[in-house]
A and B are shown apart, each in its own frame.
Chain A
Amino acid sequence: MANVSDRPDAGIPPAEVPDLPLPHPHTWWGRYVFSQDAKYIAIQYSGTAIAIGLVGLVLSWLMRLQLGFPGIFDFITPEAYYQFITMHGMIMVIYLLTAIFLGGFGNYLIPLMVGARDMVFPFVNMLSYWIYLLAVLVLVASFFVPGGPTGAGWTLYPPQAILSGTPGGQGAGIILMLVSLILFIIGFTMGGLNYVVTVLQARTRGMTLMRMPLTVWGIFTATVMALLAFPALFVACVMMLFDRLLGTSFFMPALVELGETLSYGGGSPIVFQHLFWFFGHPEVYIVALPAFGIVSDLISVHARKNIFGYRMMVWAIVIIGALSFIVWAHHMYVSGMHPYFGFFFATTTLIIAVPTAIKVYNWVLTLWKGDIHLTLPMLFAIAFIVTFANGGLTGLFLGNVVVDVPLSDTMFVVAHFHMVMGVAPILVIFGAIYHWYPKMTGRMLNEAMGQIHFWVTFIGAYAIFFPMHYVGLVGVPRRYPEIDASFITTPVAGLNAFISVAALVVGAAQVLFLFNLLWSLRAGRAAGPNPWRACSLEWQTPDTPPVHGNWGKDLPVVYRWAYDYSVPGAPEDFIAQNDPGPRIEKDVPL
């Protein structure tokens, strides 16, 4: 057994982590509205994200109604359809997934998991939420302005995004969208600084980086990436605002729109695409890495087994994070950029598949010879592996430049990215909520409702997006409000109707989930401090739910990694991280 003193940094004199002064609220407003407690901010973030996510869900229903049963719903005009897809995409990617993973889970779990009392800059953390809320409100406001929200597609490609041929292009829609994004980025940066510096500076004694749960690794790496990637979207949004409002030509070439020569000239839409995807690709991993981290922990806890290949998992997270900054142009193979970029970006894209595949293997290998409790979090984790493997593998089609040529801009792409960054991360969010709800509220979520929610969501979502790949293979382009039978040899109307019915059912199941969240708050079974018998620190708090300041008088001291499950010779099948524990000789090969 390796000795602690073998470590190179063992000679550093012991130092206590300085206890941070906590801003204690004195008023009702300070406690429940302008709270500076990361856990409370987390709940505010998640609540807002879920609320706006419901809007996104309803928009997806409307789109599917139009696609599945064209011609029946008169109010879904092409203009409305484009507004629905744009707002659906933007809401889901940015305002739901990014916000809930980083603002929600990041805020709740980071301080608890690293043994801190709170985030290091609580006031900035609070501001982050309020600016996020403002961004959401500006976004929602665009539904109510004349001309409605923008219908430029979530990619907001100029020139069409700011021209009159696109809904909201010459109205306030696009302006509000850009302003909302700029606000979101400012708010996120404030929160992101907190998450990063808390992990860097506020870990409790003994919590080395390699003892952190993978959840923290995932959220930390994703936050670093987001801090570096979101500025690209910021720059693109600012420049587009100038083009739209002040007549500059950053992205706007000379053009004749519907017979009228506009005053723009010389700009390049491709520059926008580069900036957008420089943000847009890392964004995929900003959503995926927290999901990777969380699902690793869910699998490990509920299979009562340490995560297989922890070191490899950490390295893979870091490597994926770094590589994701040099693959962005694989979204632009048919954009008209220099064709030779295709060689470089196809290669980097397929290289990133290797560490990603290793993560999938390690999740499955963690189950091997485990003691698998098929709890709801575990079920969602299994469903994540299936959908993520499916979506990840179809990514190999689209990343391989020449295979992408026939498939790009078809429904295949829509199916791929929904499976890999829609369904898979959302399944993790559900699993995580079923897993941590007991800690957040002290009560378990209702199991029966959870089972129905799980099976409908998993099977339903697979039934939506698996067949959708084939709609794309036939050749149906994405962003078509109407797929008539005229242009394809194989009619897809029947398949589309099936997909739409599945989408409606899956959406309805989420209502049950929301009901369960509220119902279990009162009626759920009491959970106790550590219902899953998990090792990581957040389950070891003196109070459940944890109070402001998280820990009692003293911060916990960490003696081991977060995965000491089923250690041979141990009396129980888990040893908490802050448990000095019996000294057990672990008989494992070095």
Chain B
Amino acid sequence: MSKKILATTSLAGCFGCHMSFLDIDERILELIELVEFNKSPIDDIKTFTKECDIGLIEGGCCNSENIEVLKEFRKHCKILVSVGECAIMGGLPALRNGISIKECLEEAYLNGPTVGENTEKIMPNDPELPMLLDKVYPCHEIVKIDYFLPGCAPRADLIWNALVALVTGNELELPYEVVKFD
């Protein structure tokens, strides 16, 4: 059986889900027997070089680049999985959704207590920068998402079990310990 090809990314997340992924510890050696990594921070491949079987998405979409990356993932991956609270619900970044983007930017760059000298009242406006969205969107509002792995972050065992199930085609094991959140 040829190896399944896996891609991962962190959009508007904290990389905590990727850290949790690494918590599979020595099983990463088993994992590389099962899958080949493509675009992912794990192997630092920046752009898709192959069509992939599975894409893991951490984080929701807070800017235009997130949207582009997510659409790229949808284009190149057969199965997309939202991993963790931010991808599924927007998570912590979505706390800004009740506040206007103007107020957020002014707090961050003009009025906040940690703002230093900004006499010219400049806010980041370089055309190279991604554009902020009016709110943080969960991934499934932008593209079709096939599976959701809840948690903040989802436990390593949950990510592991899910990946093994997807790769082997066996049913996912979901013992209580793996999906309880307290």
The answer on A and B forming one complex is no
